Amino acid sequence: MSCDHDASNNLSEMHGELFLPCNMPEPPKKNFFTNLFTGSGLSPADRDVLFGEQQSGKSTSGTAALLPSARMDRLGAQTGGATSEIARARNAAIERGEKLGQLDTQTQEMMDQSKNLSKTAALLAAKYEKQDKWWGVWPR
């Protein structure tokens, strides 16, 4: 009987629970990109985090300043040189295209002239062939 009595006292503990109770975690903070893509916009706190203190006019410590340097000047000169080389190559390609067009026109004219010459030569040969047969001057 003592077993049954102990079992009945511990019956509520023996059932177990389907879910264990626990504290709810804090909701996650909204990500900047999530807000940006969902269209909910920026909150004032996000603006302060991104752009620094707007009221005091101070910039954030991560803001980069453009400082001229010898390397930047050298890169600027190199890009200027590369740009001029590209422009020169482009102009040379345009000139080459124009010259090829002129060459094509001249070739077509030469072809037409050679056809005319062959026709004229054929007519001349036919004329002398008739004379040769009529006069019998040329031996065969």
Q: What is the pLDDT of residue 8?
A: 73
Q: What is the pLDDT of residues 92-104, one digit of tens each?
A: 999 999 999 999 9
pLDDT at 78: 85
Whether the CB-CB separation of 52 and 58 falls below 8 Å is answered with yes
pLDDT at 72 over 70: yes
| Backbone phi and psi for residue 65, each to the nearest 5 degrees, phi listed first | -110, 140
Rounded to an integer, what distance in angstroms lies between the CA atom of residue 128 and that of residue 120? Answer: 12
Mean pLDDT is lowest, of 27-31, 38-42, 65-69, 101-105, for 38-42
Q: What is the dihedral of CA 101, 106, 112, 114, to 10 degrees?
A: -140
3-state secondary structure at position 18: coil
pTM of the full structure: 0.37
Question: pLDDT grade, residue 28 (50/70/90)?
Answer: confident
